[in-house]
Structure 1
Amino acid sequence: MSVDDAKPVEHEDEEHITEEEREEAATLTRLKSRIVYEIIRQEGRAELSRPQSSIWWSGIAAGLAISMSLVMEAYLRKSLPDTDWRPLVENFGYAAGFLLVMLSRLQLFTENTVTAVLPTLADPCRRTILGTTRLWGTVFLANMAGTLIAAIFWTYSGAMSQDVSAIALELSLHVAHWGPGETFVRALPAGFLIAALVWMMPSSEGSEFWVILFFTYLIALGEFAHVVVGSAELFMVALAGEQGIFKLIGVNLLPALFGNIIGGAGLFAILAWGQVHEEMEEQD
């Protein structure tokens, strides 16, 4: 082999790129996390300034829509044979409610744990803390009202056949049998995954359906606890007279709530903020 043959090959494309353009490309690459952070922070600021009534009605609609996760799972289980692979298919039904809620831009509590907390982390003052608390409280109560209405409808309306209704109750009882510690631990990854989903949405334009489907399928497959979907299941258990509502709230609902908050706001939001806040300060 000659000396000339051993020379490294220069890519022709690189000859047409100036040093300034290379620096600009590197800057844009570094900005990606900051841009996503800023998009979500601006969304959070917009949510904090929305009228209370708008947030309330959107939250109720989200509670109604999210019940479709349980309903779709029940219909899929009814249609599938009792085999080892059945959960791999029926758990896709869990995504139905999330697709309805997130693509319709309705107010879901676990989304707000991320979008609302980023402005608070950026500017931790009395105004932002009170605003975040107000938003969380309004959305959570509205979601609970929506899932309660949905549970009453699916239990008493006859819209579901008796066999599908029995399957929905069977799915709900599985969640109700978890203890408080188990529910809390199962709620941590659910909160984290929903927060990761929110973080990915700005860079997933055109692929939102598949991103939502994938992450919510993971929640269902892992049997993680989501407080809003879980509330629809727990209300159905209470309406069926299987367990008392106050016991379900204390043993299942509140541990799921705290687990989702810590997993979403406490873990993911702080990690997301931590990776960009110094860069944001340098930029300012």
Structure 2
Amino acid sequence: MTPQDDSQTLGQDAKRVKESPAEAAGVHKAIREGGEKELSRTASALFWSAVAAGLSISFSMVTMGLLRAHLPDTEVAFLVECFGYTVGFLVIGLAKQQLFTENTLTAVLPIMTSPNFTNLAKMLRLWVVVLIGNLVGVAVFAYAIQALPILDPKTHEAFVSLGEDVLINTKGEMFAKGIVAGWIIATMVWLMPAADQAKIWVIIIMTYLVALGEFTHIIVGSTEILFLVFDGQASWSEYLFHFMFPVLAGNVIGGTFIFALISHAQIRSDKPPR
């Protein structure tokens, strides 16, 4: 997608919002229509877009690790380091790649509007394909960055510490923090149609908040933990049962069963968004 196409899409989203009888209904309609388009895409197109997103989101870990390696160990350094978290999301957002936690909102609104088995099957297909593609992308990136002679010892240590900071959470903390992260990312997606030229700032602000609160994100966190796995400092069992499953459940609940349900409920009794 070219910058001109992206600008045109943003303008169309903003136009739909302005033309809607109620602003919330306009946002709902814009996101729902985008979700319907995603649900109609082929599995192959979704998968490769998701793999690209997995590779792209890994730049969040890389940027944070590089900043951590070169900044002094202070509270201010942590505040600066958190900006590195936004880089991967910026790449994905501007490149229009498929990220699982964004689909927990966009793919859900169509089924909430028209609940039927066909829409449910399409949503589950999209979720599975995108999640697998994202995880393949981050796994490839994490293995490459660990195996290739790229990192100096200080940077390597910084990357290890990123994963260790995530693993110190209990399973309950992984789950609870995942709910908040899912909510924040869903909020970011909800703001996009009306953001217009401020889209970049919406991405930066919302994802910076995720990093600042050290909330758990299934895809970004997978890059950090899989780096530890490939480095021999964490096991696959720790990745799957201590991190992946609790965080995945939290992200889905936060983005789908809380934010999407509430967002849909607020316009349900108004004029239908169609």
Do the two structures share a fold, i.e. TM-score over 0.5? Answer: yes
Contact 1:186/1:259, CA 8 A, preserved across alignment:
yes
Kindly indicate whether residue 75 of structure 2 is the aligned counterpart of residue 84 of structure 1.
yes
What residue is the counterpart of 1:150 in the other structure? 141
Moved more, 246-255 or 268-277: 246-255
Question: Shift in Å at residue 85 of structure 1?
Answer: 1.3
The one-letter code of the counterpart of 1:129 is L
Question: Shift in Å at residue 79 of structure 1?
Answer: 2.0
TM value normalised by structure 1: 0.88
Kindly provide the CA deviation profile for residues 243-265 of structure 1, in whole angstroms up to 9, marking residues without a partner as x: 21123211111100000000001
Instruction: Describe the SS at the equivalent of 1:85.
Output: helix
The one-letter code of the counterpart of 2:117 is R
User: Hey, what's the Cα distance between the residues in 2 that align with 1:242 and 1:211?
Assistant: 35
What residue is the counterpart of 2:226 in the other structure? 235
Structure number with bigger Rg: 1
What residue is the counterpart of 2:182 in the other structure? 191
Kindly indicate whether residue 59 of structure 2 is the aligned counterpart of residue 68 of structure 1.
yes
Instruction: Describe the SS at the equivalent of 1:106.
Output: coil
Question: Shift in Å at residue 91 of structure 1?
Answer: 0.5
The one-letter code of the counterpart of 2:151 is M
What residue is the counterpart of 1:266 in the other structure? 257
Instruction: Describe the SS at the equivalent of 2:74.
Output: coil
Kindly indicate whether residue 110 of structure 2 is the aligned counterpart of residue 119 of structure 1.
yes
Contact 2:20/2:26, CA 8 A, preserved across alignment:
no
What residue is the counterpart of 1:9 in the other structure? none
What residue is the counterpart of 2:12 in the other structure? none
What residue is the counterpart of 1:34 in the other structure? 25
Q: Which runs of 4+ in 1 moved over 4 A?
A: 27-30
Kindly provide the CA deviation profile for residues 52-103 of structure 1, in whole angstroms up to 9, marking residues without a partner as x: 1000000000000101111100111122122221111110000011101111
User: Hey, what's the Cα distance between the residues in 1 that align with 2:87 and 2:164?
Assistant: 20
User: Hey, what's the Cα distance between the residues in 2 that align with 1:102 and 1:53?
Assistant: 20
Question: Shift in Å at residue 200 of structure 1?
Answer: 0.2
Give the number of equivalent residue pairs: 257
User: Hey, what's the Cα distance between the residues in 2 that align with 1:267 and 1:142?
Assistant: 25
What residue is the counterpart of 2:101 in the other structure? 110
Mapping 1:246-257, distance limit 5 Å: 246-257=237-248
Contact 1:176/1:237, CA 8 A, preserved across alignment:
no
Question: Shift in Å at residue 28 of structure 1?
Answer: 6.3
User: Hey, what's the Cα distance between the residues in 1 that align with 2:43 and 2:104?
Assistant: 17
Question: Shift in Å at residue 29 of structure 1?
Answer: 8.1
User: Hey, what's the Cα distance between the residues in 2 that align with 1:217 and 1:237?
Assistant: 23
User: Hey, what's the Cα distance between the residues in 1 that align with 2:124 and 2:178?
Assistant: 20
Moved more, 71-80 or 130-139: 71-80
The one-letter code of the counterpart of 1:194 is I
Question: Shift in Å at residue 30 of structure 1?
Answer: 5.0
Q: Which ranges in structure 1 are unaligned for 5 or more consecutive residues?
A: 1-26
Mapping 1:161-180, distance limit 5 Å: 161-180=152-171
Mapping 1:123-134, distance limit 5 Å: 123-134=114-125
User: Hey, what's the Cα distance between the residues in 1 that align with 2:116 and 2:242?
Assistant: 33
Q: Percent identity?
A: 37
The one-letter code of the counterpart of 1:181 is G
Q: Which ranges in structure 2 are unaligned for 5 or more consecutive residues?
A: 1-17
* Among 249, 257, 275, the residue aligned to 2:266: 275
User: Hey, what's the Cα distance between the residues in 2 that align with 1:73 and 1:50?
Assistant: 33
**Taking structure 1 as reference, are residues 34 and 92 closer, same or farther at Cα in structure 2, changes over 3 Å only?**
same
Kindly indicate whether residue 132 of structure 2 is the aligned counterpart of residue 141 of structure 1.
yes
**Taking structure 1 as reference, are residues 82 and 196 closer, same or farther at Cα in structure 2, changes over 3 Å only?**
same
TM value normalised by structure 2: 0.91
Instruction: Describe the SS at the equivalent of 1:279.
Output: coil
Question: Shift in Å at residue 178 of structure 1?
Answer: 1.6
